[in-house]
Amino acid sequence: MKAAIISFTARGALKNRELAALLRKKLSCTGYSFYKYALEGQTAFREVRSLTETLFSSCGLLIFIGAAGIAVRAIAPFLKEKDRDPAVLVMDEHAVHVVSLLSGHLGGGNDWCRQVALLTGAEPVITTATDLNGVFAVDLFARDNGLFIEKRERIKEVSGRLLHGEKVGVYSELPWEGELPELLVPCEKGGDGLLRPRLAEEGEKGDSGLPECGIVIAAQPQAVRFPVTCRLIPKDLTVGIGCRKGRSGAEISEFLQTVFQKFDLDKRRIARFASISLKEKEAGILELAFAERAPFLTFTAQELEAVPGKFEASGFVRKTVGVDNVCERAAVLGSGGGRLLVPRQAAGGITIAAAQRMPVIRFYRNDKGN
């Protein structure tokens, strides 16, 4: 992940340099200072709006050193979605306070706020209600477990009920471990296909005691539902890709869609793409990975050859790239030894396969104890 620190004054430039040096031990970080005060090693800028526009789409963390109002006005035109915006912090030039301003959970802003506070001695300022009240945060839980939130507006529904002391149900088709946070009620599917609390509480009101609102962790949309459901989709698929040189991102994306429709799979389950190292800079695959917001991993022919299992072999492919099958082997290796769910599919010089590895969901008591 890339980070950028933006400052506006001479004192801010000094603090910028200090903080950038500390953060570079953790991630790639560049300091930007107003041109009048830029120090050696810092990038000078004149207009903060155009700079922010560039950084907003290329960085995962932005730190403004200066007034909060400047930061708010700078980022306002470029806000998109909770799961797409970078984390944004604001710190005063004396490092008295550091504020988590944007993407506190999904972008990791609250975590970075605490880390920057430790590095600088500043007081962290976090205003997220679930953090302040020690309440389970479904968006943070989803991020930590690699789950896609189907309807982001349901985050407020779950959080609001928990903050008001209401119980929220949990049903998972995936194995889970840990201790359920307070007010979360484990539920199971009965013989009639309907949900019910796993352990009904004595004296609980209602016919079944089922909470009105609940979290469902399931890959398929036809899974059981609560009256108000927040569905979390596991990112459990690794897509292996092989292609002739020059295939466009649009062509690969169209074939991927065809394959996923054929096997009744949801693209939101894609955790990563994988291929042979010869395709490391293949523009079409990189374009697809960027569009799907998933990492792209590559492996050498020797690494792919060593993957255990039975795969569809091709003498032509072996002669061309040094291994008999790219997409299936890459999918299995990229998934960490998962099950080959979609065998090699080929069309128009593109091959696609998919492997599934079932994640184990981890719950933490009271949102990691915060």
- The residues facing 171 across adjacent strands are 216
Q: Give me the pLDDT at residue 366, please.
A: 53
* pLDDT tops 90 at residue 1: no
Q: Give me the pLDDT at residue 208, please.
A: 55
* pLDDT tops 80 at residue 129: no
pTM over 0.75: no
**Contact (Cβ atoms closer than 8 angstroms) between residue 35 and residue 10:** no
Count of CB atoms within 10 A of residue 275's CB?
28
Higher-confidence position of 150 and 135: 150
Query: Which whole number is the average pLDDT over 74-78?
Result: 93
* pLDDT tops 90 at residue 68: yes
Structure confidence by residue, pLDDT tens digits, 194-249: 888 886 544 444 445 889 999 999 998 877 789 999 999 999 999 999 999 999 99
Q: Give me the pLDDT at residue 365, please.
A: 63
The two beta strands, 87-91 and 97-102, are: antiparallel
Beta strands in 277-367 (DSSP E): 296-299, 339-347, 350-356, 361-363
- Element (DSSP H or E) covering residue 129: helix 129-132
Give the lowest-confidence range in 198-207, 313-322, 351-360: 198-207
* pLDDT tops 80 at residue 276: yes
Structure confidence by residue, pLDDT tens digits, 88-120: 999 999 999 999 999 888 788 899 999 999 999
Quote the tokens at residue 181: 């946070």
Mean pLDDT of the chain: 90
**Contact (Cβ atoms closer than 8 angstroms) between residue 82 and residue 106:** yes
Distance CA 168, CA 228 (A): 10
Distance CA 299, CA 235 (A): 21
Query: Which whole number is the average pLDDT over 11-20?
Result: 96
**Contact (Cβ atoms closer than 8 angstroms) between residue 154 and residue 230:** yes
* pLDDT tops 50 at residue 299: yes
- The residues facing 179 across adjacent strands are none
Structure confidence by residue, pLDDT tens digits, 158-193: 989 999 999 999 999 999 988 888 899 999 888 787
Quote the tokens at residue 114: 């605490």
